[in-house]
C-alpha cells in the first residue's frame, strides 16, 4: 500500500550510481507489494480502523520530529491544503484496508495498479484533451485483466472487496489530481506535506474509532495482538511507511523521478508474488491470465502516457 511522495527533479547520474540508487527503490516496491498480505494477516472487519490508528500513530511522531523546523514555516494555506489532502488519504486507506480484508492480496495489489491508468484518463478529461489510441488500448487491456482476475473461480459478480479496492484506485486518482490542482501545496516541503496529510488521516481514524459500532478500539486491538500481529504492524509502519517515504526522498535526489516511478510501478507484481508464494492464494488459470493482462496493460499505459 503505497503512501505518497513529491519527487523533485534530480541531476543525471552515472549508470552505475543510478543502478545503486535503484536497489532501495525496488525494495520499497517489494515491501509495498507485501503490505496487502501483511494487512490481511493482522486485520479483521472489526479491527480495520483500530489497525489504521495504530499503524500511522506509531510513525507520525517520528515524522514530526524529523521535519519540525520545516513544519513550523508552513503557511496557513499550505496547512489547509495538506489537511484537505489528508482527508482524501484517510479515505484511500479505509477503502484499501476494508477491501483487502474481503479479497485476496493478489487481487488487491493488481486492482489498485489501475490508478496508473485512471490518473492519465482523468487528467485528460480535466484538460479536455483526448488520450492517445495506444493509451486507450492499454486501458482496455487492464479492464479485461481485472475482469478475468476477479472471476478466477468462474464468471460471477466481483466481490465487495474487489469493488472497495477499485474505489481506492479511483480515490488515489482524485488525490493525485488534487495535489496537482491545490496551488498552496505545490511548493510545500515534501516531508512536511506528508506529515500533515498523515496527521489528518490519523485524526479521521481516531474520530471514527471513538464512534460506537465502528469496531474494536485501538487499545483493545493492541491487547489482542500476538507476536505475529505486532510483527505485521511493525512491517506496515516502519517499512511500508517510514522506510518507503525516506527512500523516495533519498532516491529522487540521486536519480530521476521517472526512474523512481517506473521501479515503484512493479508493486503489483510483488503483491501477486507475495499472495501466491506466501499467502497460499490460487487464482487459477483465468485469474493468472487476468493478472498478466493487468501487468502488461499498466506497463503499456505508462509508456503510452509518457
Of 120, 36, 117, 30, nearest in space to 293 by CA: 117
Q: How many CB atoms lie within 10 A of CB 131?
A: 18
Total-model pTM: 0.83
Locate all alpha helices (DSSP H) within 236-277, ordered by sequence.
244-251, 257-264, 267-277
Cell of 196: 500533515
pLDDT digits (tens, 9 = 90+) for 50-91: 999 999 999 999 999 988 998 999 999 999 999 999 999 999
Cell of 284: 487459477
Which pLDDT value is given to residue 9? 45
**Chain mean pLDDT for the chain:** 84
Statement: residue 49 has pLDDT above 90: yes
pLDDT digits (tens, 9 = 90+) for 169-208: 999 889 888 888 888 887 888 888 889 999 999 999 999 9
Of 295, 243, 202, nearest in space to 66 by CA: 243
Q: Confirm if 100 and 108 have CB atoms less than 8 A apart.
A: yes
**Mean pLDDT for the stretch of residues 8-26:** 64
Q: How many CB atoms lie within 10 A of CB 133?
A: 9
What distance in Å separates the CA atoms of residue 39 and residue 228, rounded to the nearest whole number? Answer: 12
What distance in Å separates the CA atoms of residue 281 and residue 12, rounded to the nearest whole number? Answer: 41
Which pLDDT value is given to residue 154? 56
Which pLDDT value is given to residue 161? 92
Amino acid at each position: 500500500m503505497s503512501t505518497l511522495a513529491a519527487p523533485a527533479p534530480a541531476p543525471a547520474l552515472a549508470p552505475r550510481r543510478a543502478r545503486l540508487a535503484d536497489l532501495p527503490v525496488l525494495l520499497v516496491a517489494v515491501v509495498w507489494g507485501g503490505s496487502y498480505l501483511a494487512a490481511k494477516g493482522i486485520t479483521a472487519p472489526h479491527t480495520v480502523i483500530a489497525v489504521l490508528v495504530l499503524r500511522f500513530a506509531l510513525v507520525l511522531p517520528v515524522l514530526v520530529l524529523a521535519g519540525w523546523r520545516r513544519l513550523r514555516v508552513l503557511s496557513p494555506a499550505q496547512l489547509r491544503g495538506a489537511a484537505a489532502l489528508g482527508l482524501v488519504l484517510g479515505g484511500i486507506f479505509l477503502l484499501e484496508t476494508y477491501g483487502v480484508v474481503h479479497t485476496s492480496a493478489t487481487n488487491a495489489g493488481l486492482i489498485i495498479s489501475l490508478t496508473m491508468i485512471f490518473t492519465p484518463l482523468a487528467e485528460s478529461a480535466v484538460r479536455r484533451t483526448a488520450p492517445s489510441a495506444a493509451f486507450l488500448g492499454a486501458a482496455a487491456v487492464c479492464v479485461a485483466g481485472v475482469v478475468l482476475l476477479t472471476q478466477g473461480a468462474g464468471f460471477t459478480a466481483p466481490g465487495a472487496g474487489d469493488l472497495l479496492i477499485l474505489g481506492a484506485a479511483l480515490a488515489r486518482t482524485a488525490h493525485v489530481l488534487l495535489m496537482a490542482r491545490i496551488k498552496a501545496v505545490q511548493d510545500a516541503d515534501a516531508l512536511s506535506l506528508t506529515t500533515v496529510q498523515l496527521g489528518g488521516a490519523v485524526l479521521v481514524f481516531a474520530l471514527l474509532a471513538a464512534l460506537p459500532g465502528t469496531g474494536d478500539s485501538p487499545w483493545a486491538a493492541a491487547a489482542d495482538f500476538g507476536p505475529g500481529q505486532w510483527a505485521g504492524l511493525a512491517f506496515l509502519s516502519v517499512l511500508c511507511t517510514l522506510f518507503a517515504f525516506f527512500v523516495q526522498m533519498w532516491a529522487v535526489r540521486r536519480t530521476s523521478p521517472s526512474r523512481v516511478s517506473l521501479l515503484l510501478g512493479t508493486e503489483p507484481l510483488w503483491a501477486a508474488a507475495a499472495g501466491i508464494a506466501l499467502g497460499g492464494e490460487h487464482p487459477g488459470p483465468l485469474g493468472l491470465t487476468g493478472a498478466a493482462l493487468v501487468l502488461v496493460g499498466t506497463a503499456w499505459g505508462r509508456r503510452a502516457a509518457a
